[in-house]
Chain A
Amino acid sequence: MFSPDEITEVIKMLNEEDLDIRSVTLSINTMDSIDSREENVISKLLSKIEKIRRFSDAVDEVKEKYGISIVTKRVSVSPIQFMLEPMPQADFSVRLAKTLEDMAEKGRIDYIGGFSAFADRGTSRSSEVYLSSLSSAMNSTTRVAGVLSAGSTFSGINLDSVRKFVSQIFQMEPHASSRTAVMVNLPPDSPFVPSSTHGLGMPDAQINVAVSGPGVIESAIRKSSVNDIRELHNLIKRYSFKVTRLGELVGREVSNLLGVPFGAVDLSLAPSPKTMDSVARVIESMGVEKVGGFGSLTALAILLDAVKKGGAMATSSVGGLSGAFIPVSEDSGMTEAALSGSLTFETLIMMSAVCNTGIDMVGVSKESDKSEVTSLILDELSLGLSLNKSLGVRLVPIDGKPGSIVDLGGLLGKVVIMPLKGIKSQISNMNGFIPNFLKRLEFG
């Protein structure tokens, strides 16, 4: 049936190499909560708690059946912007955030995503309110996550909204800014926070899954001593298939138990602050002495291509931000490289050319010039438009100087303040939006 080697391999992956399911996410349509009376919106949202609890129990049941670690349980709701449309008021926005927090707590889940808004080409009245209340909303919650969609290949980039977003994150506590990001080309079915939002065109509910397996890939590379790129590529492909299959198994099982359609598996290698689970270490195992050194992008590009090719065969529906995640604070190897100076903002932007997260979980000093920070974000988002892919920025403004650290604990890890260049950049002070690039015309 199975050879002892096969059994040992799986057992090792699960027990020694930190293979786990990062998150199972129930994505639910909450558009039925839109109402012109505040109380009705709140009570309709709260009526979903029962559904969330059932989901939480189903995940626990699957965890017990398979004996696999499922690190977090999450829920995504329709972008909160829609609830604000009939009543564009800042205090209502904060109340909505607290209601989501309530749903998460009572539903026994770790994060609730969807405190999100779209302002791709212009800032509508609801996204305006969202952008003026985001810091109060995030500061007064602990499990709520959200994303500002500030552009897309279709629309261009809304510069005003990025500027407002920056001034909001500067008013946030580190735990709050770690739960929000600004993105372009936001996918409609991401199981990761802060990008997860119940997208348009989705069924009323679906299950999305994110796997995590850098430890497995690193250990496979280190054990193999291959000296041929194609063999290495093949090796990563094989393991990435196995990692993704585990996600498919768990997703299908939860979806069967709940009677909710299975959405997508995010073909990702997501790190965790534990030393055994680092994308940086995978790059280093491929021969780059320290991540950030030249060759890092080549290693990452090979890794990603292999992860996607192996993963694509393992699941029938790919979603989210498939690729390798490089959140600096959540990856012990990246954190170390940021502290030593081998990993800089330029390295992260360079890596964004092949990975799908962008600049993620990096500290900036609260003393930084906001227009320089906005320009940094614009560089990343422009890259997303030029390459026609999802990219985002999650910065954590912190009181302190470059090199200081704030420990957010758990999966979030240690946030390092990385140095900016201190070069004035007025481009981010211009009005309006960046026109959609030529890529747009490829869509017709």
Chain B
Amino acid sequence: MELAVVVVVGSDKPGIVAGISTELARNNVNIVDISQTVLRGVFSMIMIVDISNSSLKIGELRESLKNKGKELKVDVLLYHIDVFRYMERV
């Protein structure tokens, strides 16, 4: 399993979770964990996804999620899990 973290932030409206998860599914990326909150109208979602069978390279996947985010008017970031593993764990 090769994991990555997807972070989505923006103003809340229907269809954000559906839009992002459809984009992930379309590229054969599996969602492993998901947490989502709305605080004072600000939507924020953190997903842990498995990119080992992804049809796109991680850079291309980042780009496609970013574009999807533009459509949905939210910011989408994608980082490899190693970044968190290195910075947050000894």
Contacts and interface: CB of A to CB of B under 8 A. Distances in A.
Interface of A: 1-2, 4, 6-11, 13-15, 64-68, 242, 245-246, 248-249, 313
Given A7-B46, A65-B58, A242 B87 contact: yes
Contact of B80 (A1, A7, A65): A65
Given A15-B77, A64-B57, A64-B59, A10 B84 contact: yes
A246 B86 contact: yes
Given A15-B77, A245-B86, A7 B7 contact: yes
A6 B84 CA distance: 8
B82 to A, nearest CB: 6
Contact of B83 (A1, A4, A10, A64): A10
A10 to B, nearest CB: 5
Nearest to A7: B46
Contact of B88 (A6, A64, A248): A6
B74 to A, nearest CB: 14
B6 to A, nearest CB: 10
Interface in B33-81: 33, 35, 46, 48, 57-59, 62, 77-80
A314 to B, nearest CB: 9
Contacts of B83: 10, 14, 66-68, 246, 249
B80 A66 contact: yes
A10 B82 CA distance: 12
A10 B79 contact: yes
A65 B2 CA distance: 12
Nearest to B33: A1
A58 B41 CA distance: 42
B29 interface: no
A302 to B, nearest CB: 23
Nearest to B82: A249
Interface of B: 5, 7, 33, 35, 46, 48, 57-59, 62, 77-80, 82-84, 86-88, 90
Given A1-B48, A64-B57, A67-B62, A7 B84 contact: yes
B82 A66 contact: yes
A14 B83 CA distance: 10
A2 B58 contact: no
Nearest to A64: B59
A2 B59 contact: no
A313 B87 CA distance: 12
Nearest to A249: B86
B49 to A, nearest CB: 12
Contacts of A4: 35, 46
A242 to B, nearest CB: 4
What 10 A-B pairs have minimum CB-CB distances, sorted nearest first?
A: A64-B59, A249-B86, A245-B86, A242-B87, A6-B88, A245-B87, A66-B80, A2-B84, A7-B46, A67-B79
A295 to B, nearest CB: 31
A65 B35 CA distance: 24
A264 B35 CA distance: 38
B87 A246 contact: yes
A64 B79 CA distance: 10
Nearest to B60: A64
Nearest to A15: B77
Given A2-B84, A9-B88, 11 more contacts: A2-B5, A7-B7, A11-B77, A15-B77, A66-B83, A67-B77, A67-B79, A67-B83, A242-B88, A245-B86, A249-B86
Most A CB atoms within 10 A — which of B33, B57, B83? B83
Contacts of A248: 86
23 contacts: A2-B84, A4-B46, A7-B84, A8-B7, A9-B88, A10-B79, A10-B83, A10-B84, A11-B77, A13-B87, A64-B59, A65-B80, A66-B79, A66-B80, A66-B83, A67-B59, A67-B77, A67-B78, A67-B83, A68-B83, A245-B87, A246-B87, A249-B82
A31 to B, nearest CB: 35
Nearest to B7: A11
Nearest to A246: B87
A326 B48 CA distance: 39
Nearest to A253: B82
Contacts of B82: 66, 249
A64 B48 CA distance: 18
A436 to B, nearest CB: 41
A6 B89 CA distance: 10
Contacts of B59: 64-65, 67
A15 B80 CA distance: 15
Contacts of B5: 2, 7
Contacts of A1: 33, 48
Given A64-B59, A67-B79, A313 B88 contact: no
A111 to B, nearest CB: 25
Task: Output the residue of B33, B77, B79 with the most chain A CB within 10 A.
Answer: B79
Contacts of A246: 83, 86-87
A1 B47 CA distance: 11
